[in-house]
Amino acid sequence: MSKISPLAFIDPEAKIGDNCEIGPFCFIDKNVEIGDNNVLMNNVTMLNGARIGNGNIFFPGAVISAIPQDLKFKGEETTAIVGDNNKIRENVTINRGTAAKGKTVVGSNNLLMESAHVAHDACVGNGCIIGNGTKLAGEIIVDDFATISANVLMHQFCRVGGYTMVGGGTRFSQDVLPYTMCAREPAAYCGLNLVGLRRRGFSNELIENIHNAYRIIFGGMALNEALQKVREEVPASKEIDYIIDFIEKSKRGFVH
């Protein structure tokens, strides 16, 4: 049975799962679905289109599924989806989608720190950390286990690769390659995210193979030739395949 403060407002059409805690002055709109074992501290707002999984914690001031800050939005029915076991800290905002994709998605086991913003049609994977005050623009992608530090500005349509570390205060308008560090002004490739990779259990051999792949990619030859050389000279693995696929699918180019 859920524990709901008498000072919270819950629309009769909203669906609330089992064993939830909903604090005072929360507002839960119509067309909202909240799963089991969620905690909404005081002053959390869930607006039309919120779809919440299980085991999440929402801290005071979080606003989920507000309409997009996008002039092309015309009131279409869209959603903001939050998976399981996320920590959504104070004043985080996650906007719902537009007709472009129809949904904004935050996966599972993420930490979104105070005042982070996830814009319309964004897709944040699993196991990510988004730092205080960081702003993720519309239609971006953040792959699994990426760490984006505080006060980062991510341009629309960009992608951040998995197991990446983006340094605090960085602003970028191109993709950030998997397994790397990105920082400085202007944003630049700063080597592999060695600490993060070791913490995630990457072997020394695999790290060396990833390092060799990037030595070739940044070695000065034409990109298509460099990728072919990586295929020929670096031992095949899902991690190397991921790097090649990421680069080949990049539409905005990537941070060098």
Please, which pLDDT band fits residue 1 given cuts at 50, 70 and 90?
Answer: confident
Mean pLDDT of the chain: 98
Does pTM top 0.85 for this prediction?
yes
Please, which pLDDT band fits residue 57 given cuts at 50, 70 and 90?
Answer: very high
Per-residue model confidence as pLDDT tens digits over 116-155: 999 999 999 999 999 999 999 999 999 999 999 999 999 9
Of the residues 49, 107, 133, 138, which is catalytic? 138
Of the residues 35, 120, 143, 196, which is catalytic? 120
Q: What is the pLDDT of residue 194?
A: 97
- The string of DSSP letters for 35-79 reads -SS-EE-TT-EE-TTEEE-SS-EE-TT-EEEEPPS-TT--S---E
Q: What is the pLDDT of residue 18?
A: 98
Per-residue model confidence as pLDDT tens digits over 19-51: 999 999 999 999 999 999 999 999 999 999 999
29 counts as catalytic: no
196 counts as catalytic: no
**Are 213 and 192 within 8 A, CB to CB?**
no
245 counts as catalytic: no
**Are 182 and 170 within 8 A, CB to CB?**
yes
Contacts of 85 (CB under 8 A, 6+ apart): 53, 54, 55, 56, 108, 109
What is the amino acid identity at position 223?
A: L
Per-residue model confidence as pLDDT tens digits over 180-207: 999 999 999 999 999 999 999 999 999 9
**Are 39 and 69 within 8 A, CB to CB?**
no
Query: What is the share, in percent, of the chain residues with pLDDT greater than 90?
Result: 100
- Domains of the chain: residue spans and CATH: 3-139 (2.160.10.10), 197-249 (1.20.1180.10)
- If DSSP codes are grouped into helix, strand and coil, which group holds residue 135? strand
Of the residues 29, 70, 84, 121, which is catalytic? 121
